[in-house]
């Protein structure tokens, strides 16, 4: 595992450990690992996190924490791939060093303008997509940067004019800065996270847990009675109410007759009697059934055929005489 494979392993390890795009200081050296493997043999090599963190993080002598003064420039004549190499970032930092008095300027982030809503450039030679470069320092902003983001400069930018700044030529001729898109950000110190507070349930250091010796018995009978008897009592009351409505609230035939007038009762009784008499007379009539109600019949002769005969015999029997 030598050559390109080892380099590829280093790149994957750096990405997995969340290495930022900031420039690595010169006094930090990446840990050197040598891995030997045989062809056709499976091996496992564990990459420790601490050596990589020590290489890409600042030492105790450096200023700890995030840079409080940050500025974001839009470079219009570059693509994001052109500012990722360390040499290109160093060139940009040298050009931006004139804006700060101290030399602790460093790159915080590099973002393509397409990720910020920028348009895709035309396929013409020399057209670039643009890059947002965010740099930070511990020294305050220069008067030139403050003037570039003043309300007067923003008003001139809306009118299509150049902002009020005296550092236009600082980045020329390698970087074309769009000063109307300049953003200044002053980051305050991050609040410290409060530590855990000792409560009554946390044991003291060196102490042991002593469980309670006895537990007071709980009286469960009242809870059981309430859980069981209350639903039963409600159900019994509902049954009594339903029974009273269905049985005790009925009017009955006698009460209905008492509330009805005599003329209406006589009329109703006569109708029932006439209906009963007609039904008795209809049952006593001896009239033959109509021929149309029979299964098969002959209109001329009145001959009837047996409906229970076989299908073949019934199909051969003529309905009409020849």
CATH at residue 106: 3.30.70
Residue 258 domain flag:
no
CA nearest neighbour of 73 among 91, 100, 92, 101: 92
Flag whether pLDDT at 18 surpasses 50.
no
pLDDT band with cut points at 50, 70 and 90 for residue 15: very low
Residue 296 domain flag:
no
Is the separation of the CB atoms in 182 and 72 below 8 Å?
Answer: yes
Question: Pick from 153, 186, 219: which residue ends a domain?
Answer: 186
For 179-234, the pLDDT digits (tens) are 889 999 888 776 667 766 766 666 666 667 777 777 778 888 889 999 999 999 99
Instruction: Mark whether 41 and 111 lie in a shared domain.
Output: no
Residue, of 127 and 194, whose pLDDT is higher: 127
The mean pLDDT value of the chain amounts to 75
Residue 136 domain flag:
yes
Residue 158 domain flag:
yes
Instruction: Mark whether 52 and 106 lie in a shared domain.
Output: no
Helices (H), the chain: 4-16, 49-56, 80-83, 86-96, 143-148, 151-158, 221-243, 253-258, 262-284, 311-316
Residue 318 domain flag:
no
86-91 average pLDDT score: 90
CA nearest neighbour of 296 among 281, 309, 280, 287: 309
Is the separation of the CB atoms in 180 and 157 below 8 Å?
Answer: yes
Question: Residue 143 belongs to what domain range?
Answer: 69-186
Q: How many domains does the chain have?
A: 2
For 23-74, the pLDDT digits (tens) are 444 444 555 667 677 788 887 777 777 766 665 554 444 457 678 889 999 9
């Amino acid at each position: 595992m030598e050559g390109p494979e080892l380099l590829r392993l280093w790149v994957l390890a750096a990405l997995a450990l969340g290495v930022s795009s900031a420039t690595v200081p010169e006094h930090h050296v990446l840990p050197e690992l040598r891995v030997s493997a045989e062809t056709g043999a499976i091996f496992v090599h564990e990459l420790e996190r601490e050596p990589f963190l020590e290489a890409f993080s600042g030492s105790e002598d450096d200023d700890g924490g995030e840079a409080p003064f940050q500025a974001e420039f839009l470079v219009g004549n570059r693509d994001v791939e052109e500012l990722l190499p360390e040499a290109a970032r160093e060139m940009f930092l040298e050009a931006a060093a004139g804006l700060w008095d101290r030399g602790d300027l460093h790159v915080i982030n590099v973002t393509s303008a397409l990720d910020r809503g920028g348009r895709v450039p035309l396929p013409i030679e020399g057209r670039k997509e643009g890059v947002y470069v965010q740099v930070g320092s511990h020294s305050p902003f220069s008067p030139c940067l403050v003037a570039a983001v003043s309300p007067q400069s923003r008003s001139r930018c809306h009118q299509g004019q150049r902002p009020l700044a005296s550092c236009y030529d600082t980045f020329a001729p390698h970087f074309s800065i769009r000063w109307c898109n300049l953003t200044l950000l002053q980051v305050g110190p991050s609040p410290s996270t409060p530590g855990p507070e000792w409560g009554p349930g946390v044991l003291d250091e060196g102490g042991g847990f002593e469980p309670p010796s006895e537990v007071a018995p709980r009286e469960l009978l009242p809870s059981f009675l309430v859980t069981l008897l209350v639903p039963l009592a409600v159900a019994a009351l509902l049954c009594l109410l339903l029974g009273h409505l269905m049985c005790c609230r009925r009017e009955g035939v006698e009460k209905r007759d008492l509330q009805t007038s005599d003329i209406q009762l006589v009329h109703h009784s006569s109708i029932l009697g006439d209906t009963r008499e007609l039904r008795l007379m209809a049952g006593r009539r001896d009239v033959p059934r109509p021929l149309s109600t029979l299964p098969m019949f002959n209109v001329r002769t009145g001959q009837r055929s047996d409906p229970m005969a076989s299908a073949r015999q019934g199909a051969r029997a003529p309905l009409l005489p020849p």
